[in-house]
A and B are shown apart, each in its own frame.
Chain A
Amino acid sequence: MARAISTKRKAVFTVAAWIVALIIFFPILYTIITSFKSETEAIAGFNMIPSGTMESYGAVQDQYNYFKPFMNSVVLSVGSTILALLIAIPAAWSMAFSPTKRTKDILMWMLSTKMMPAVAVLFPMYLIFRNLGLLDSRIGLTVMLTMINLPIVVWMLYTYFREIPSEILEAARMDGASLWNEIIYVLTPMAVPGIASTMLLNIILAWNEAFWTIRLTATDAAPLTAFISSFSSPQGLFWAKLSAASTLAIAPILIMGWFSQKQLVRGLTFGAVK
């Protein structure tokens, strides 16, 4: 009897999970469907069955070179993630294993920087980038994306590190491990699921960042977000082409997310159940 109730509940939760997942995924699905419509079909109204035309993909390929912004997106997202991890791992170690009475305040302060609207600092940032000669450079944008995502990276790593018993690190110290050896050979391998999920999440966030990547680039460092925005037109139909460009832009990150979903979920739920 108990088994029957459990199965029923499980079925309800499964259906509910599928419904929620479909609702969340629907905008992406509809973007993909629209990319296989003609411009007239795309603006004609809601329709889940496209004619299957590839003309929008052809137009997108004719108009712009996809490879350059794609490579920029790869360099910026991977580069900013590596840089963020290099800074965040020692910072999170310090806060998790050697906290002071101000640690919580520092963590809150770091998080509070995410609450400020980006446009509020557009002019100062633009001037700094101009004066440092970093406008439209991959280096400048990598640093920018690192700074944007650093609070989340530190917070996530801090949460994972706190789940690791400090006795293990103390044992390593007793065995004569230096600070760096302790972090690299003891802490990091134990926190691999957490670090991996943080890394994946940071790559996704950096890949999708559109405010700064559009505003601080022109031709050399412009990533796929700029590629997408170039298909919006004030006079002329563009929904199908925009959808095709968006599909091309999100495809790599969707594929990466699909293959790494186990790692991502394991990392995100790490320490959630004791």
Chain B
Amino acid sequence: MKNKLFRISFQRRKIIAGYLFCLPFLIGFALFFFYSFMQTLIFSFNELQLTPIGYELTFVGWSNYSYALNVHPSFPMDLAAEIGNLAVNVPLILAFSFFTAIILNQKFFGRLLARVIFFLPVILGAGIIFRLEQTDMITQLSLGAAKPGLVFSGTALQNLLLSTRLPEQFLQFIIDAVERIPLIVRASGIQILIFLAGLQSIPSSVYEAADVEGATAWESFWLITFPMLSPLILTAVVYTIIDSFTSADNELVSMIRSTAFTSQGFGVSTAMAVLYFIVIAAVLGLVLQVVSKWVYYQE
């Protein structure tokens, strides 16, 4: 009896601790994310008019949504194109960052330098530096000439490939893939870091045990490294999808943002935002469902 009582209080203590640990985050989250989202949802069913003292809302029902889907010249097509693009890029980014992380986790001369180089795109592509590069016209112009991607996507490679007389669709696919290389390499910085952190979290004793049991490198990769990293593959998938859907240079996001300040108004813009959100949620939900099945969690 006494034992049981103790157990209940212990459980309850754990529950309370759980809530307490979550509390600071929850407050900030409710304030800055959840409330904003609800507000956006409300705006999308209304027409917003600015008045001298603030703003006024007039309820218009689904008309903002039907405008975005039926009247807007490019929104539905852009949305579809975005998803198609994602379907090609995400597997490529993941594969690239996964294997790069495994290489960068090995000991070799100049490893830190290599890691810095592979993290550079994140620094170069983020916030202020990205904007600085954009404001600098000359840099832009000459970067166009010096863009590393052009070395490969230039006519030299295409001519070489065309001279092989392979089927045209196949060649088109290869040329497409090659043109994506710079893009994929540039979008992989954070994923590489996530995988690196994951590799470093695998206790070395597991490998030692496998070694003692006589496992080969190939076996310990597929039976230790891969399952232990699988939760992070999920994380990286989520990050990649979010990153490409919500980054500042995403065309759809900037279109939604600029729509707010055109004649179509804030209501249409928020309706688009909500539709966009639903699409991302659907894509992510689907991916999570599929990938979660392969994830291994250590007990």
**Same complex origin of A and B:** no
Q: Which residues of A contact B (CB under 8 A)?
A: none
Q: Which residues of B contact A (CB under 8 A)?
A: none
